[in-house]
Structure formats: C-alpha cells, structure tokens
Structure 1
Amino acid sequence: MNAERPRPGTLDATAVQDLVRAQAADVLGHHPVHASDNFFALGGDSVRAGRLVMRLVKALPGDGAVDIQDVFGAADFADLAARIDARLRDAAAASTPATGDPLDVHDTRATGGYVESSPEHAPGRRPVPLSYGQLRRLQRDADSVGARIPHHVSTSFRIHGPLDPAGLEAACHALVGRHEALRTVFELDLRHGRHRAYRLDAHQLDLSRLFRVRRLPSEAEVEDEVTAERTALFDLATEAKVRVLVLVTGEDAATVVVTAEHLVCDGDSFAILLRDLAALYNARVTGAPHDAALPQLPPRCWAEEEKRRHHAALEERLAHWRSRLDPLEALPEVRLTGMRDPDVWPTTAAQVHGRLSAATVRRLRETCAAESATLFCGFVAALALAVLDDAGHTVPGMVSPTSGRPAGWEDDVDWFATSVIHRFRINTQLTVGDVVRSAKQSVASGLTHSVPLPLLLEHLQFNRDLEQRWRPWLYLAVDAEDGSPLPLHGVDVEPAVADARLALRAGVTVRVDVHDLHDPGQDAVGATVLFQYEREVWPSERAEAFMETFTRMVALVSENPAGIDVATLLRTSRPGPGR
C-alpha cells in the first residue's frame, strides 16, 4: 500500500531537500547524493530527469510542485529543492483564506502585463491554477525573442440600423460580471517560471478598453482600425479579457469588433460569448429580464477540473501515445516543399485564401457519411493526401483543436480546447475510401486518448523546450458557419469581410469555414479556406501551390473513385505534364 502523500505546508525545506536527494539517488543509482551535486554531473539525462519528476510528483503534496525545467535549470540539488519548496509554500498560502489590501490596478501595458511581484491575496482576488495550455502559452511568451505575439479570438460585424451604444456598453459590463474567466489576471515570474493566475471582482479590473465608440470620417479607414484592434495586446495583469469597439461610419452604420484573449476563451467559448453579449444587449434594449434568457453559472475554473480529469486517466493515455509516437517526433512535424529554417525571429504571418464549391462540400459529406465518418475526417484525409503529393510523406501528421468541454459546462467561457494529434500511414496501393477510414480511426483514437499537448510533450520529450530549433507543423481547424452569431435586436447584422488573424504557429495553419447553405446555387461557395504561414519560412508561390494541391485533394476525396489506388490517382490528377 502506498504511503499517504503529505499535505501542503507539512514539509519544511530540510525535508524537501532530503526527499529530493533520496529520490535522485535511486534514479541515478549513485549513493550518496549531496546537496552541492549536480544532477547531470552524476550521469543524469532527459529520461532519468523525467523519472525523477514522476517520483517527486507522487511523493510530494498537491499538484504542480515539480517542473521538468527545474531539473535542467537547477545548479545543484539544493537549488532544485529550493525551487520545489517555494512552490509548496505558494500552494499552502493559496489554500489559506485571502487577506490583505485590494489589488492595485496599475498600467503594465509596456511589459505586456508581465509583473514580477505578487501583492498579498486581497478580498475578491481568488488564486486559480493554470491549465496546461495556459502554462505553455505563458512560458512560450516569456521565453520568446522579440515582441509578444497576440493570441486573440476576434471577429467583426457590419451593423445597419439604430444601435444603442449605452445598451451595448451595459451588456459588456454584464458579460464580464457573468463569466469569471473574463476576470482572470495573470502574473509571470520571469526569473523562476512560477506563473500565477487570479480571478478578480469586476471593480478591481481595468475596464477602460472594455467598450469604446470611435467615429470615422469614411469607410476606407475601417479595415486599418479593425486590424489594429485585433492585434492590440491585452494587459494580462490588469484588464478584463474581452473588448468591444464600435466604429461609426455614418448614420445607422457601424462596424462592431469583438476581441477576446485566447488564454481564457477558445473558439467554442467565443461563440458562447457572442451569444451572451447579444442576449444581454437585447434584454437591455427591450426591457426584458436577462436572467430569464441565460442560464445561471456557478463560480468555477476549468483548469481545476482539467487537472482532476486528466490525472485520473493520465498513465493509461500516455501509454497509448508512447506505443504510437516516436519521442523525438511527439509533435507531427511536417516539412513541405520549399520550407527553410527562419533566420530571423519572431517571424511574421502571411495568408493565402481559397474556396471550395458547394457541390464539392456536398459530395465530401456524402463520401464521409458512406464511411460513417464526419466531414472533419474528410478534410483530414484530403490534407494528408496533399502532404503526400507535395512532400512525399506517407505518414503525414497534423494537429487539430478539439473542445475538452464536458457535459454540464456547455454555457461556460474558458480555454477548454486541447490539441489532438492525427498521424496515420497512407498505403498508396489502397483507395481513397481506405484513406478516409484511416483518418476516421486516427481522429477517433486521438479524441479517446486526448491529453493536453503540453502535458504529452512533457512526458515524451523531457528536454524539448531547451532546444529552440524551429519545428514546422500542420494545424487544421474546421468550423461551421450558421448565420449571424450576433443577433442584436432592431438592427441588421452581417459578418464583416476581413482577413482572420490567427495565432502565429511554426509551419502552416489551415482553417476551413464551411458555410450553411440550404439551397445553394450552381456557383455557390460551400467553404472558404485560409492558409496562414510564415513569410520568412515559405515563399508565397509555394503556399499558393499548396493551396491548389489541397483544394484538388478535397475534390479527389469527395469524388471517391472506386477501384483506383491512391498512387494512380495522384499521378493522374496532377495538372499538366509533371509538377
């Protein structure tokens, strides 16, 4: 029977150091281990570092007291023990009743919301854990060279009619009051990597940019204003994590830009945020009680639930991935033709746009339905074939977002999304239908054994982040459009035509927006495709060529020719004589 883990605050610094030295001695097979010894000088490597962390996690109280990076960064075992002891003390302090003065809301925009000291816990300032995704995002930003990259979820709408600015402003304040995640502030400890998050009361936040109205002399200035708003960084330490900007261009004509910080709001949550904003506005302008339109939400944090759920099945799911992924390729890294390592950092984004006809999307649905697969599986198969046709990879890999939102959390705003790995072998002697079935199996397996990608990398590649080498990967997202997601009372609302600004990732991001067309005409567009890539990595002509390859593969999968193998289809489907 395993010994009961000690409670937070019950181990002093000496006991922590003794435990660290004892566990290290067992892992290294080296006795004795002294406080002044270095882990790697005694024969440690990344595998043994991972074993040491796992042992310490099981032996120490609470969660998150041990970080793999501490093993690599610590000068000796005394230093490692001191880092762990500091986290244990933080955890013990966080579990005590909050005391102290209210948060001093100060302007930290010059540092992107990064502060290196934490005020004492204040009334209305509740410590919350960070999710795996949040931890990785914050650490990536802290470690990156150059300006912080905006990671936002944003969209804009054209408004025609008598919009009530006062009503929309009141709805924005009610929205922040409704969703705790929007009241999250973050503090980064750049020196030790001990990042923190807190939930605040609304009056403790900086709300100066929550709602603004700006009048423009002409429509020509709207696009630049929208771009500036979408890319403007949030102050992580003080601001509410949503902004609404109204650009007035004439009588009863305006553009509304809604932007949320991805750290607290994924794509699914953004749709909920827009729904609630519209409901709160409509209740305000019609005089209806908004409580009747929106369900009540209990105060809760998804990161707390995520840690409980994933740790319960962690070993089983990690065993699945250990048997299927090479630890050196835990991320499905794919180099497409013409890609090269960047020689400057940070890189900048460029985009290529494409379209799929309504007839092609309809046929793709039918092909997938015949295999009892979703439309998403069809796009996974098409992208895999495009990689094979472009770069010759018979085991293409990609990552896609999926919502980790469980039953009972349908109305919450938070970062629920996690990344699912899709990697499967394409046998070129089989048919397109076989590729769709392989994609279906890969998608189902990834969802069944989903583990937050940062957690998976931590266990499969212990020292990955120590190497800052550029690694390209494919990120596929498929979304369905179902009309205006911002139904405001008394006005006409339509999505504004503008480039989507996605979080910049190494490699290529592929986003497919499928349109909801009940009676599509012959020339109707069934889906729009957006490729975002790095200018310094991939020439524009290669990005445009890959877009053509991808749309051709979507058409090929939708047609699903029977009795013809993939190798023959790829050879005969290429336009012109050769490439």
Structure 2
Amino acid sequence: EIPLTTNGKVDKKAMPEPSGIGETGVEYAPPTNRTEETLVKIWQEVLGIERVGIHDNFFELGGHSLKATMMVNHIHKQLGVSLPIRELFKNPTIQQLEKYLEEVKLNTYASIPNTKEAEYYPVTSAQRRMYAIQNFEGEKLGVSYNIPEVFEIKGPLDSNKLNVALRKLINRHESLRTSFHLIGEQLVQKVHQEASWNLTKLRAKEYEIKNIIETFIKPFNLSEAPLFRAQLVEIGANHHIFMIDMHHIISDAVSSIIFMDELSQYYVDSELPDLRIQYKDYSAWQNSKEWIQQSEKQMKYWLDCLSGELPVLELPTDYARPPVQQLEGDVFTFEIKPETLSELKEMVHSQETTLFIALLTIYKVLLSKYSGQEDIIVGTPLSGRTHSDLEGIMGVFINTLVLRNQLKEEHKFIDLLSIVREGVLDSFEHADVPIEELISKLTLKRDVSRNPLFDTVFTFEQSEMNIDEAEINIPNLSFKYYDFDSSVAKFDMSWDAEEENGHLFFSVEYCTALFKQSTIERMSRHYIQILEQVIQQPDILLSEIELVTQAEKQQLLKDFNNTQVNYDKEKTIQELFEAQVKKTPNQLAVIFEDVGFTYQELNER
C-alpha cells in the first residue's frame, strides 16, 4: 500500500529507501569531503529527499527553476560562493559542482540587515505598482488582486484553537498587520503593533457555500490593517469550510504556503523559531544604495534585451478587444498522455535542458503560428526570493521575467530550444530587477486595453507554489483544497503546466472578453500537435511544423466533399477572408475552421 499525505498525494518521505540505488537509478555514492557533505545536506533540504548521492542529477531528482534558486541561495549562505544558475546546468551533480566551487573565488555572503524602528517604512516597487493600479482602477478592479483560498476540513475541528493559531500568525508576521498610506506624494507602509481582528464563524447548508464564498471575497481598503480576513463555516459536526483572503500587496503564492504550514503547527501547539527579519527589513534593503547599484548593473541587460520596437502579440480573437482591459476570465484544463510525457523527457534529457524550457519553447512556436509574428515575448513568474533570508517571510516577493525570442522559419526546433534555454538562464542571472522598475525605464505607450510588455504568461511546476501543496499535517483532521470559480484573468492567456505522478496537466486561464472556450480548446489540440511533432523530429524546421491535426484534416476533407454551401456561409467566409487576408494559410485554417471551410477552399480563394 502506497502511503499518502493528508492531501491525497504520494508521501515520498514515508516510502522505504531502495537498497543501493538512488532516486534516479544511479548507484549511490556517499560524499567524500566536507564541501560534498554540505552540498548533500542542501540538496536533501531543498529537494525534500532523504538520501542524495554525489552522482545524482539535480534535475532528474525533481529540481526546477524555483528549487534551483533556493539551492543557489543556500550555497551562497553556507559556502560563501555566488553560484550562477547556468553553472548548475553545466554541473548538475554534486561531484561536478564541488569541483566548480573549489575553482571559483569566494563572494562574501551578506545578511539582510534589520532596519531601524519607525512610524512608517518605504514600500517595494511591487507594492507601489499594486497600490497605483488599485487606485487608478478603483471599483472596476474589484478583487483582482485578492488571494482567496478555501479549504474543506473534515474531522473534529476545534474552532477556538484555530482562532488562537490565526492570532499567533498575525503576531508573528508583520505583513498581516500592515497598512498603506500616502504622505504627500510618497507611498509608505505602517506596521501596527496590534490589529483588530477576529475569525468569523457561521453555520450553513452545503448548497449555500457558493454564495457565501462570493460574499466573503470582497475589496480591501489598503489604508486599514489587517489586509487579511478569515471565515469558518460549519456544515456539520465534523465538516467545515475554511476561507482565507489576503491582498496581494502583503502576500504571494509562497507566502500562502508559509501561512498554512505555520497555521497547522500553531494549531497543534508547536513552537516556531523567531523570525530574524520582517518584510519591512527587505523593503528597506531594496531601497538601499547597495541594492540599487546592484540592480542598475542588471538593468543594463534588460534594456539591451528589450531594445528597439517591442512587439505586441496579435492573436486572432473571437471578440474585438475592449477599449479598457477586462478581467473576467475562465479556465480550461487538459492533459498530456503519460507515454507522450515519457518521450518528451527522453528528448529533453538528450538535449541537456529542462521540461520547463521545452514546454515554453513549444508554447512560443504555437504563439508564432497563430499570430504570424517572429518576435515573441512571454512572461514567466518567479518566486522573487533571491536571498536565503527571505524564505520564511510573508510578503509580496514574486517577480516576473520577460522572455523575448526571435522565431525564424528556417530555425530547427532543437536550435530554437538552445536559444530559449540560453535566454532563460540569462534572465535568471538578472532576476533581481523588479518588473515594475523595468517597465518604468522603458518607453511604452500607455494602452489601457492591454498589459504592458506582454499579454501572456507561461509557468511550470506550480505545485511548489500552490497552497494546496502546503504541508497541512493536523492529527484527525483532513484538509482538502476546495475548488471555486475565481473568474479573474489578469492576462489574455495564462498557461500553467504541472507535472504530478507521471502526468502532465495544463490549466489555461483566459480572458472571456476575447476568447471562447472552443478557441482555447483548439489551441490546446494544436499545442499537443506541435509537441508530438518535435518529439518525433527534434530537428524539424519551424516552417515544417503543422498545426492541423489528423482528426481535423479528416474533418476538412469531409467538409470539402460537401458541396452544398448556402448564401449566408459564402457571405460569411468572404467577409472573414477580407478581414484576415494578410494571414498565413495555417492561420486561416485555424480562423475558418469553425465555419466549415477547408484548407483547399481557402487556397482557391
């Protein structure tokens, strides 16, 4: 019987260790010196694995961008060496990494200092932008910057103990006692010694939960602390719905994980070590002269990368783009077959890259095919915790990397894969620059119908940043993430890929003011079509990659043989064709698929 966690996931820590063989099937080899011993301990902590050999590959053990950043921070702190992430790709085993570390010079590690106590503290660039957007949009923005989470709890829950645990969390993390104010024209944050707060409790029937959640999630007043609320709904004696909501200006995805993990520890009366620093210390550090100088060096890279005319992604949409950006959204999910994922991993391993980079590259090919553009920009979120002192602190640290690539039809896919890989590694090495600071340095036309810089984001392995993956271990209680409709889309499209237990799942959040679900569903089919082609032919030219699947070709042939075409259909296709005349044949096939005209008919016209 395979042991499971309270969330229903495989509990790897409870699994017996296979004798003599490591996690990746490589024969186990113990560390041979002090540096290797330190690296083994770091890998075990970051990867959550009990035994690591010096020949094990970091990425085959489950390492990815977030964990790579965490590991680099730990190495810097414990060994005094500033390790570029690209060196981890070149030296993915402990033995290789130890040799590299011995050859480089020491880069002195500096802790984030404690700032002096004051009535007000400076804000970070992320907080400044969120505050500006909230005030610019006003009521129209609504709850788009709220971070609501809902759990279903089964078992003998003690609501008083839960309330005490929540109060301890508010005392522990200053972010949960912070408000924001304008002093003249300067935005500042105020940390309150105490915050008036209480857990709201009520009883309800199960069919009422949807309406209760919708009522619970409401706008925050940023000048009033705490920017956090919680509510417990009793459905039965051992059945509760637990809701929490925080504003993004004081929290992010990793903060939510910290919140739930520490809440479960406080509930069972565990003691937590004191926090050496708080978010205000990080904010003061980000505003320090030393940090600004470091950031300016990295800014040069981004200004070079984003020089010239910046592309605006022009995807064919189902509806005309509204003059002001709409935030209503929906989610479409799909899955890659396990056997296809296995083949993709083999290809990725042979090309010495990662699943994230391969999936991102395929996504860029899809966008290029749909838009007919070669210059493609995609955003990808990053935890933003580039210093190991920040790992246990609640606050908004998340940053977004801007990934720009030129996709030429004469490119082979494997060559493009290498180009994207180098771009991602370069971006990670310059990840200290907040996206808000970068946007302020660029000369961008204000367009209230779009996001600045990019309209789509791609993320991978969000399981490390999803609150439903937090360790919620409370005896006799079962915590299950309660799915609810958030209906918010900050971008035209946000693609999330997550690997779990040999399966690859995609979640596409899309703006319903632009796209129908049928369009997103078709894009998912075409994404899989591209993926399967590059697995079979990694050296295929981009110009040779086809969007139309075999099933769609069959449908087109069937439609082609149906010669009865009414006047309305002829009129429709004529109007559509005139509007899309500059598109490529592949794009036309996508656009006209819904009206039943075939590729051959389009060519005739």
Q: TM-score when scaled to structure 1?
A: 0.67
Please state if 1:351 is matched with 2:351: no
- Provide the rounded CA distance (Å) in 2 between the counterparts of 1:359 and 1:155: 33
Please state if 1:335 is matched with 2:314: yes
Q: How far apart are 1:539 and its partner, in Å?
A: 3.8
SS in 2 for 1:195: strand
CA deviations 1:171-229 (Å, max 9, x no partner) are 1111111111121101257xx7532211111x2x2314xx2222112x22223323443
Q: Contact 2:333 / 2:506 at 8 angstroms: preserved in 1?
A: yes
- Provide the rounded CA distance (Å) in 2 between the counterparts of 1:389 and 1:200: 52
Structure 1 pair 474/491, CA: closer, same or farther in 2 (3 Å)? same
1:147 pairs, out of 129, 140, 145, with: 140
Structure 1 pair 537/572, CA: closer, same or farther in 2 (3 Å)? closer
- Provide the rounded CA distance (Å) in 2 between the counterparts of 1:506 and 1:399: 10
SS in 1 for 2:190: strand
Counterpart for residue 423 of structure 1: 404
1:50-65 equivalences under 5 Å are: none
Counterpart for residue 566 of structure 1: 542
- Provide the rounded CA distance (Å) in 1 between the counterparts of 2:541 and 2:404: 20
1:456 pairs, out of 428, 438, 441, with: 438
Please state if 1:159 is matched with 2:153: yes
Structure 1 pair 389/501, CA: closer, same or farther in 2 (3 Å)? same
- Provide the rounded CA distance (Å) in 1 between the counterparts of 2:150 and 2:343: 31
1:36-435 equivalences under 5 Å are: 126-144=119-137, 146-150=139-143, 151-188=145-182, 193-201=185-193, 203=194, 205-208=195-198, 211-217=199-205, 219-229=206-216, 231-283=217-269, 289-291=270-272, 294=273, 296-301=275-280, 302-308=282-288, 310-326=291-307, 328-329=309-310, 333-338=312-317, 340-343=320-323, 346-405=326-385, 406-435=387-416
CA deviations 1:85-118 (Å, max 9, x no partner) are xxxxxxxxxx9985xxxxxxxxxxxxxxxxxxxx
Counterpart for residue 66 of structure 2: none
Amino acid at match of 1:143: F
Unaligned runs of 5+ in 1: 1-94, 99-125, 284-288, 521-525
- Provide the rounded CA distance (Å) in 2 between the counterparts of 1:228 and 1:367: 48
Amino acid at match of 2:167: H
Q: Contact 1:432 / 1:566 at 8 angstroms: preserved in 2?
A: yes
Q: How far apart are 1:165 and its partner, in Å?
A: 0.8
Q: How far apart are 1:347 and its partner, in Å?
A: 4.3
1:444 pairs, out of 425, 430, 435, with: 425
- Provide the rounded CA distance (Å) in 2 between the counterparts of 1:418 and 1:181: 18
CA deviations 1:231-278 (Å, max 9, x no partner) are 322232223233332222222112222322211111122211111111
- Provide the rounded CA distance (Å) in 1 between the counterparts of 2:366 and 2:540: 17
SS in 2 for 1:313: helix
- Provide the rounded CA distance (Å) in 2 between the counterparts of 1:154 and 1:555: 37
Amino acid at match of 1:213: K
- Provide the rounded CA distance (Å) in 2 between the counterparts of 1:416 and 1:236: 18
Q: Contact 1:428 / 1:566 at 8 angstroms: preserved in 2?
A: yes
Structure 1 pair 554/194, CA: closer, same or farther in 2 (3 Å)? farther
- Provide the rounded CA distance (Å) in 2 between the counterparts of 1:224 and 1:552: 40
Q: Contact 2:414 / 2:539 at 8 angstroms: preserved in 1?
A: no
Q: How far apart are 1:449 and its partner, in Å?
A: 1.8
Counterpart for residue 544 of structure 1: 521
- Provide the rounded CA distance (Å) in 2 between the counterparts of 1:435 and 1:186: 45
- Provide the rounded CA distance (Å) in 2 between the counterparts of 1:242 and 1:427: 48
Structure 1 pair 157/567, CA: closer, same or farther in 2 (3 Å)? same
Q: Contact 1:484 / 1:493 at 8 angstroms: preserved in 2?
A: no
Q: Contact 1:159 / 1:494 at 8 angstroms: preserved in 2?
A: yes
2:498 pairs, out of 507, 513, 531, with: 513
Counterpart for residue 528 of structure 1: 505
SS in 2 for 1:275: helix
SS in 2 for 1:317: helix
Structure 1 pair 351/419, CA: closer, same or farther in 2 (3 Å)? same
- Provide the rounded CA distance (Å) in 2 between the counterparts of 1:163 and 1:554: 47
Q: How far apart are 1:162 and its partner, in Å?
A: 0.7
SS in 2 for 1:323: helix
Identity %: 16
Amino acid at match of 1:566: L
Structure 1 pair 424/127, CA: closer, same or farther in 2 (3 Å)? same
Amino acid at match of 1:398: V
Tell me the matched-pair count: 429
Q: How far apart are 1:346 and its partner, in Å?
A: 4.8
CA deviations 1:119-138 (Å, max 9, x no partner) are xxxxxxx3121111111111
Structure 1 pair 97/225, CA: closer, same or farther in 2 (3 Å)? closer
- Provide the rounded CA distance (Å) in 2 between the counterparts of 1:174 and 1:401: 30
Q: Contact 1:474 / 1:508 at 8 angstroms: preserved in 2?
A: yes
Give the CA RMSD over aligned residues.
Answer: 2.8
CA deviations 1:330-358 (Å, max 9, x no partner) are xx642211263304565422332333334
Counterpart for residue 41 of structure 2: none
Unaligned runs of 5+ in 2: 1-114, 557-588, 591-605
Structure 1 pair 367/343, CA: closer, same or farther in 2 (3 Å)? same
- Provide the rounded CA distance (Å) in 1 between the counterparts of 2:278 and 2:407: 47
Structure 1 pair 348/249, CA: closer, same or farther in 2 (3 Å)? same
SS in 2 for 1:270: helix
Amino acid at match of 2:420: A
Q: How far apart are 1:317 and its partner, in Å?
A: 2.0
SS in 1 for 2:427: helix
Q: Report the more deviating stretch, 142-151 or 161-170.
A: 142-151
SS in 2 for 1:427: coil
SS in 2 for 1:138: helix
SS in 2 for 1:429: coil
- Provide the rounded CA distance (Å) in 1 between the counterparts of 2:116 and 2:393: 27
